[in-house]
Structure 1
Amino acid sequence: MQSLVDSTLSAPDKDDTSDAQLYAAIDLGSNSFHMIIARDIDGQMQVVDKHKEMVRLRAGLDENGYLDEVSFDGAISCLERFGQLLKGFPEEHVRAVGTNTLRNARNSKEFLRQAKEALGHEIQIIAGQEEARLIYLGVSHGLPSSDEQRLVMDIGGGSTEYIIGVGFEQRHLTSTEMGCVSVTQRYFKGDEITEREMVNAINACRIILRPHHMSLTRLGWNTAIGASGTIKAIGTLLQENGWSDDHITLDGMLKLKSYLETHGSISQAIYAGLKGLKNERVPVLAGGLAILIATFQELSIDKMQVSANALREGLIFDTLGRLYEADVRETSVTNMQNWLKIDTAQAQRVAYTALSFFQEVHEKWKLDKDSYNYPKLLKWAAQLHEAGMAISYKRYRHHSAYLIENSEMAGFTQQEKSMLAAMMLNHRGKFAREPFEALTAPHNESLVYLTVLLRLAVRIHRGRDMDVSNMETSNIRLQIENGTDLKLFFEAGWLAEHPLTQLDLEIEAERLKAMNFNLTFE
């Protein structure tokens, strides 16, 4: 069965000089959309193209939490332009993620549907912790090898991430609900800047950061690194106006703050001679400066260097890791199994049988033609389906679904966790249609098929008595006809020796009728 999973993860030929060597990462940020296109050269990323557009998605959220028409349409138009450069890219070579604003927008589902059509590839929403992990991965790959502990900070439009790590390994991840757009909108009027507004904004940011003060400072760091357009812009301003050398310092930022307050607005400061500020940064400078000053003050940072890498570079390296057998999601699943003390032998039995069924039916059900790796999703669902037993056997499938959908699992997007939760909730008992209906097409239909395979595997192994080492020789097969007629074949006499399994399958046949499947067995 491993051969099936391996075949879906096979890496491209590195000697191939075609477009199949190219990888793309798209970061749908709250302030700007970024796309990076790179090549893998002997394990090293070589950037061949970059694109950025100031979409200002966060600024388009109305008072009810919906993206307004202007920001919605502008973002889709941007993705159409990005999509023109991605034609011919293998699906598995493109990663596109949405961050804080798309996590919170109430019409994000409709946006994601249109965005996929515009870009030509699936958009995945990532949680703040996952965003922080990818940022650190991108930054660490752009730094010299070192054993020093690093604090990495990234200011987005709607959130700010803080990560502490050594080398490529992150040790602490924090995502906070403050960003250069949201803080600017709340505390500043237009480009006007007064001392009172700036003090209020800085203090508000310190309050947001304060609950994380102890966890961050207890770990400590040798070097602080900033990784966002806002931090880069502030670093450039300090250098070009003579307020710092090659690092960002608190003293330099306070001089910039005083200069802006003296002139009353950013536009007046530029007219008076402020150098180094691009027009695209004017609308969000005040909020970004308040966040950075608050961070320096709250965490007692002396100086900060600026990284050229950020989330999008992290996406590229994470994609390469998935293709070359270093998928962090596998580690996350193992960690969940250990944490929740899941019966891993049972999980292995169910996973093996579910994947063997997948191999027999995936072509007829057309489960191999999508951006998601369905065999892996099926395997992970099998490995974690009993997670809820750590809480209680009663309603454990509900507990399993809740735990997985709401846990921080490195590498997993919100969509992937929702898919796993839908399968776990429905791996036995009556079918609940709502979790599938909440998924976007084609997953709303494909996940039903995967869940049927999981249910059958769970029923067959309810006795927990099959020796895992002998499963390759067990001859249990599944055939489908007309899409919904399922037939299980067992070795002669097997069902007679397992009467409870036969009874379970009879019950399952009745359950499956509710989802318009017809199950028979012999």
Structure 2
Amino acid sequence: MPDYPIIAIIDIGSNSIRLQVAQSLEKSYRIIQDYREILRLGDCVFSKGYIDGQTADLFYKNMEVINNLIQNHKATIIRAVGTAALRDAQNAYEIVKTTKERFGIDIEIISGKEEAYYNFLAVLYNFDIKNMNALTIDIGGGSSEIVISQKGELVDSYSTLLGCTRLKHEFLKKDPPSQSSIYAMKDFIEETLQNLDDINIDTIVATGGTLNNIAIMYYMSQNKKSTSYAKYVPRSYVKSLINTLRRMKIDDIKKIKGVEEKRADIILPACMVIESIMNFYNVEGFYTFMGGLRTGLLIDTLNKIGLSFPFQTLDSDLKFSRLIELGNKFNFEEPHALCVNDLAKKLFEQLKQTLNLQDKDFALLEAACILHDIGTYISFSKHHMHSYYLITNSDLTGFSVKQKNMIATIAYFHRGSLPNKSHKFYQSFSKKKKDKIKKLAAILRIADGLDRSHRSFVKDIKVSIEKDNIKIVAISSEDTFLEMKAANAKKNLLEKVTGKKVSII
């Protein structure tokens, strides 16, 4: 395996400072360290115009922790960026200079336009927006970066002064705030938004710690599990939350279920910004996810050293690209995975009517095909069990948690025993889903057998179906003795779900 570099990304924002250390891979990366501290540099900058001594000392203490973590992980590429607070701080040069002298770390103060682009890059990595008009917004402490895209192409970007910490210091000077100050803030937000392109927007994707906190609050208020990396928050909830928060003291806001204590004073401004945007574009909710700037910076940094991601190079949808990336993360054999997927698709198309499967079901089979062998990253022995574990504990873009668990189960049964009562994870599904899992796993087992040598010898498949028999003809110009033996050994599940005798030649 090539010796890929370890990269450290430092995001110095108006509210928090974050470190992410990643091991780069050929077509992916693996996070090996994540550190965060809410410093609220913006509280100084937006009230005083500079970073005072006490806050600077706290910043340097955190930079010392971050530097130690970087050294411990032996990161060879370090990229540190400062956003709105450092852009506005009168003594930003001194902070940057001292950081360089004490820790050897260069801080790059990026423009609002650059910040917007990196956030957009992160959204492209996490959401399939190629067929829609999307608005991407990162609501930070000092500014909000907005990108308008059409069919996945960036149309325009804006850096606005709609940062939640900045808005708090400018307008919400009392606790609780006066109604006149809330109206003044709302007018300022709406006036700022008049500069945006007035086009039809299908989807809003938001990043930033405060909006993620709002998403957590919503999920907890609905008693929903928030295991998914992406969360949807309806506009109705945000409007209701605004009406509640506008009359509350900060100490009381801290008691609301899900509120991150250090963000209690900036939840209201963040709500009002995102609600005004939803109102402006007549959108009934937004998606939010963790990552944003850090993810975009990491992708950009990897691109600059010559590494690219499947979503940037493959002419396919984001779900498929992310499956390939996840496979690479666990050092899978990509040619074998693609061959199995191709053979499974041919089998699926010719068997779906007999198996009473729908076209949409292939998405689950495809994911299982691509990922069925990733468990060999842990151990070849019983690797189907390890594949199940890795899939269930990974983020699968475009799939729900239930779908992810189905994919993991289909992959589990690509080898070994057939589904039975001893498999508790399988028994947890409904009868309808268990039936679908068995049918899709039956296809995967045969497709995997037909590439037993991992040399892609079988180029095509022809299936003929009779009353009591299914005949599968594997077309190849090579010696496929191993493939025939393996596929015939794995035909038992297809025979079970169809009630027909299966022959593979």
Q: 1:121 to 1:67 in 2, by over 3 A?
A: same
Contact 1:191 1:265 in 2 (8 A): yes
| TM alignment of 1:73-222, pairs within 5 A | 73-87=57-71, 93-144=77-128, 146-165=130-149, 169-189=153-173, 191-212=175-196, 215=197, 217-218=198-199, 220-222=200-202
Q: Which residue of 2 aligns with 1:283?
A: 265
**1:108-128 Cα distance to aligned partner (Å, 9 max, x none):** 111101122344321101110
Alpha-carbon distance, 1:203 to partner: 1.8
Q: Which residue of 2 aligns with 1:66?
A: 50
Contact 1:191 1:282 in 2 (8 A): no
Distance 1:63 1:308 in 2: 28
Contact 2:26 2:307 in 1 (8 A): no
Distance 1:302 1:309 in 2: 23
| TM alignment of 1:190-339, pairs within 5 A | 191-212=175-196, 215=197, 217-218=198-199, 220-242=200-222, 247-262=232-247, 264-271=248-255, 274-324=256-306
Distance 1:301 1:145 in 2: 16
Contact 1:65 1:104 in 2 (8 A): yes
Contact 2:24 2:30 in 1 (8 A): yes
Q: 1:179 to 1:145 in 2, by over 3 A?
A: closer
1:56 aligns with 2:58: no
- State the one-letter code of the partner of 2:271: L
| TM alignment of 1:466-477, pairs within 5 A | none
**1:131-179 Cα distance to aligned partner (Å, 9 max, x none):** 1001111222123474333211100111001112367742321110120
Q: Aligned to 1:87, what secondary structure does the other structure show? A: helix
Contact 1:91 1:121 in 2 (8 A): no
1:32 aligns with 2:16: yes
Distance 2:46 2:113 in 1: 26
**Runs of at least 5 residues in structure 2 that lack an aligned partner in the other structure:** 226-230, 309-505
Distance 1:111 1:167 in 2: 41
| TM alignment of 1:12-31, pairs within 5 A | 15-16=2-3, 21-31=5-15
Percent identity between the aligned chains?
24
Q: Which residue of 2 aligns with 1:436?
A: none
Contact 2:203 2:283 in 1 (8 A): no
Contact 2:5 2:76 in 1 (8 A): no
| Paired positions, count | 304
TM-score, with structure 1 as normaliser: 0.54
Alpha-carbon distance, 1:196 to partner: 3.6
Contact 1:158 1:178 in 2 (8 A): yes
Alpha-carbon distance, 1:269 to partner: 4.3
Q: 1:322 to 1:234 in 2, by over 3 A?
A: same
**1:238-276 Cα distance to aligned partner (Å, 9 max, x none):** 2222399952222211111122234x32322455xx211
TM-score, with structure 2 as normaliser: 0.56
Alpha-carbon distance, 1:229 to partner: 0.6
Contact 2:136 2:146 in 1 (8 A): yes
Q: Aligned to 1:253, what secondary structure does the other structure show? A: helix
Distance 2:17 2:151 in 1: 28
Distance 2:154 2:290 in 1: 19
Mean alpha-carbon deviation: is it higher for 276-285 or for 243-252?
Answer: 243-252
Distance 2:128 2:47 in 1: 45
Q: Aligned to 1:52, what secondary structure does the other structure show? A: strand
Alpha-carbon distance, 1:210 to partner: 1.3
Q: 1:308 to 1:270 in 2, by over 3 A?
A: closer
Q: 1:136 to 1:167 in 2, by over 3 A?
A: farther
Bigger relative contact order, structure 1 or 2, given CA contacts below 8 A and separation 6+? 1
**1:327-382 Cα distance to aligned partner (Å, 9 max, x none):** xxxxxxxxxxxxxxxxxxxxxxxxxxxxxxxxxxxxxxxxxxxxxxxxxxxxxxxx
Distance 1:62 1:52 in 2: 22
Contact 2:201 2:283 in 1 (8 A): no
Q: Which runs of 4+ in 1 moved over 6 A?
A: 88-92
- What's the Cα RMSD here? 2.7
| TM alignment of 1:418-437, pairs within 5 A | none
- State the one-letter code of the partner of 1:15: P
Q: 1:51 to 1:90 in 2, by over 3 A?
A: closer
| TM alignment of 1:453-492, pairs within 5 A | none
| TM alignment of 1:403-414, pairs within 5 A | none
- State the one-letter code of the partner of 1:69: G
- State the one-letter code of the partner of 1:290: M
Mean alpha-carbon deviation: is it higher for 250-259 or for 294-303?
Answer: 294-303
Distance 1:277 1:24 in 2: 29
Alpha-carbon distance, 1:190 to partner: 5.7
- State the one-letter code of the partner of 2:101: E
- State the one-letter code of the partner of 2:98: Q
**1:161-211 Cα distance to aligned partner (Å, 9 max, x none):** 111236774232111012010101122136524544333222211112212
Q: Aligned to 1:170, what secondary structure does the other structure show? A: strand
- State the one-letter code of the partner of 2:243: S
Mean alpha-carbon deviation: is it higher for 116-125 or for 100-109?
Answer: 116-125
Distance 2:39 2:163 in 1: 15
- State the one-letter code of the partner of 2:297: L
Distance 1:199 1:38 in 2: 44
Distance 1:296 1:199 in 2: 18
